[in-house]
């Protein structure tokens, strides 16, 4: 896929004052809007080794915002591949108990959590899918108490991106590594609005605009959504959970702090009914699963369950994902994203769920978010699983209707764009 502009013409050089200004502004955005760190707050930053410069700027911004403590934890992703290839079976099956214990203690101690996301899309290419599945499933089970608290917003959290060589050259294979890193940084600054004169104000305006769509959808009480792509194979009816709630862009912690969990974000989403999804869905973008890129996904649902699944590449890994547990063959999220969203406008495939899910409408296999229900999720048709895996089905030709309980329809999207009567976005 090619971009609509020369990749290197406007890419920031990391050695320039302009780049440092943008990076500092991005750090401030992650602190002030992402986790919205409060005076006296505490922050844990998880980051790849290449993120040291950004992590320091985040720490500076956090302390300037009145932070009491900033802890930065660096992760070397190559160690995960080394373990997959060289470790004995016992090591693959071992997840240290201190991992969830430490995270739970930090949640109890009112820490906020910021993840700087940058990873090699091909990190696990060629690795044993059985080992990948085993370690991912065991880790998810051990960390489940932590993920439940995070999904319940018992802590503030945000995921932002960082450009690293292994990711950048996948997105920009035609460029030299340094140029690719700069080009990817340009994209990160653009889609997170960090390159605007006032990024914080730009985010507040974005939150207000997409909030209007979310609020409208919450007045409609749809029974289902119907996806139909006249230029593709997707024809899917997604029944919605009883008492479902639409969410998006901005969330609130249990302490009442407004946060933006994902940067970028251009989605509004809600909870499907686990047993009321029928039809065919075809992925419009590759999906990164456990470090392996899966392309050409096609899935058929009956009564909410995946009954047929295939992929052009990475099929074994995708099928292992579906076999994680009983809930992995049902969906826990349905999200709508305009085809003209900033990530889509870059004209690039990012091989990164944080980015690609904000370029297209999507579904998530696995567990539902508890905050997308007005009642008990288990009693409302909500799905539960160890996994939550977003995969993109939206296209520039996708049409989406909301279907009321009486069968009447409300136009939501036409040609991949919002088309709600009387509502501009």
Q: Are residues 322 and 340 in the same domain?
A: yes
One domain for residues 219 and 155: no
Asked if residue 234 and residue 181 are part of one domain, the reply reads no
The share of the chain scoring above pLDDT 90, in percent, equals 92
pLDDT level of residue 11 (50, 70, 90 thresholds) = low
Residue range 108-165, pLDDT digits in tens: 999 999 999 999 999 998 999 899 999 999 999 999 999 999 999 999 999 999 999 9
Residue 253 lies in a domain: no
**pLDDT, the chain, mean:** 94
The percent of residues above 70 in pLDDT, for the chain, comes to 96
Residue 252 belongs to some domain of the structure: no
Q: Does 43 score more than 60 pLDDT?
A: yes
Confidence (pLDDT) at 183? 97
Q: State yes or no: pLDDT of 9 exceeds 70.
A: no
In a domain, 81, yes or no: yes
Assess whether pLDDT exceeds 50 at residue 2: no
Are residues 315 and 290 part of one domain? Answer: yes
Structurally, how many domains does the chain consist of? 2
Query: Contact 197/31 with Cβ under 8 angstroms?
Result: no
CATH number of the domain encompassing residue 115: 3.40.1830.10
Q: Is the dihedral of CA 100, 391, 180, 165 positive or negative?
A: positive
Asked if 372 and 294 sit in the same domain, the reply is yes
In a domain, 344, yes or no: yes
- The residues near 211 (Cβ < 8 Å, ≥ 6 apart) are 248, 249, 250
Q: Are residues 206 and 165 both part of a single domain?
A: no
Q: Summarize pLDDT for 153-201 with one digit per residue, the tens.
A: 999 999 999 999 999 999 999 999 999 999 999 999 999 999 999 999 9
168 & 223 share domain:
no
| Conformation bin of residue 82: beta by default, left when phi > 0, alpha when psi is -120 to 50 | alpha
Number of neighbouring beta carbons within 10 Å of residue 219: 7
pLDDT in the model for residue 13: 66
pLDDT score for 422: 81
Q: Are 296 and 409 contained in the same domain?
A: yes
Do 292 and 274 share a structural domain?
Answer: yes
Range of the domain at 164: 17-198
Residues 182 and 327 in one domain: no
What is the model's pLDDT at position 33?
97
69 domain-assigned: yes
Q: In the predicted model, what is the mean pLDDT of residues 378-400?
A: 96
Is 3 a member of any domain? no
In 39-174, the DSSP E strands lie at 42-48, 69-75, 111-117, 157-161
**Helix ranges, 287-328 (H):** 315-322
Query: Do 116 and 207 share a domain, yes or no?
Result: no
- Tell whether the model's pLDDT for residue 7 goes beyond 60: no
Q: Which pTM value belongs to this model?
A: 0.88
In a domain, 86, yes or no: yes
Are 219 and 341 in the same domain?
A: yes
255, part of any domain: no
What sections of 281-369 are H helices per DSSP? 315-322, 342-345, 353-356
């Amino acid at each position: 896929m090619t971009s609509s502009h020369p990749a290197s013409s406007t890419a920031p050089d990391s050695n320039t004052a302009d780049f440092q200004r943008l990076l500092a502004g991005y750090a401030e955005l992650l602190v002030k809007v992402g986790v919205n760190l409060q005076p006296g707050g505490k922050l844990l930053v998880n980051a790849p080794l290449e993120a040291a410069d950004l992590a320091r700027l985040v720490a500076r911004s956090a302390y300037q915002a009145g932070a009491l403590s900033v802890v930065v934890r660096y992760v070397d992703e190559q160690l995960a591949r080394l373990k997959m290839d060289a470790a004995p079976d016992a090591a693959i099956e071992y997840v240290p108990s201190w991992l969830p214990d430490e995270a739970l203690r930090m949640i109890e101690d009112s820490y906020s959590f910021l993840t700087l996301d940058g990873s090699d899309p091909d990190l696990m290419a060629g690795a044993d899918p059985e080992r990948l599945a085993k370690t991912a499933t065991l880790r998810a089970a051990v960390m489940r108490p932590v993920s439940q608290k995070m999904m319940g917003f018992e802590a503030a959290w945000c995921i932002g991106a960082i450009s690293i060589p292994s990711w950048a050259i996948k997105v920009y294979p035609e460029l030299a590594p340094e140029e690719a890193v700069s080009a990817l940084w340009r994209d990160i600054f653009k889609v997170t609005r960090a390159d605007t004169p006032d990024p914080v104000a730009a985010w507040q305006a974005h939150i207000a605009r997409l909030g209007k769509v979310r609020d409208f959808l919450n007045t409609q009480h749809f029974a289902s959504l119907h996806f139909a792509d006249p230029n593709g194979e997707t024809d899917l009816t997604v029944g919605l959970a009883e008492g479902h709630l639409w969410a998006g862009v901005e969330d609130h912690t249990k302490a009442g702090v407004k946060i933006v969990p994902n940067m970028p974000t251009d989605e509004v989403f809600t909870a499907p009914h686990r047993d009321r999804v029928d039809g065919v869905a075809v992925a419009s973008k590759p999906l990164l699963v456990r470090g392996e890129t899966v392309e050409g996904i096609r899935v058929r649902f009956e009564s909410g369950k995946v009954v047929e699944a295939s992929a052009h590449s990475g099929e074994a890994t995708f099928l292992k994902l579906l076999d994680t547990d009983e809930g992995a063959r049902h969906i826990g999220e349905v999200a709508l994203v305009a085809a003209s969203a900033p990530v889509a406008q870059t004209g690039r495939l990012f091989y990164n769920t944080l980015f690609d899910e904000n370029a297209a409408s999507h579904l998530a296999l696995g567990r539902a978010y508890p905050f997308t229900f007005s009642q008990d999720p288990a009693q409302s048709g909500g799905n539960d699983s160890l996994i939550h895996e977003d995969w993109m089905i939206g296209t520039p030709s996708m049409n989406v209707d909301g279907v009321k309980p009486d069968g009447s329809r409300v136009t939501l999207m036409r040609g991949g764009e919002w088309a709600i009567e009387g509502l501009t976005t």
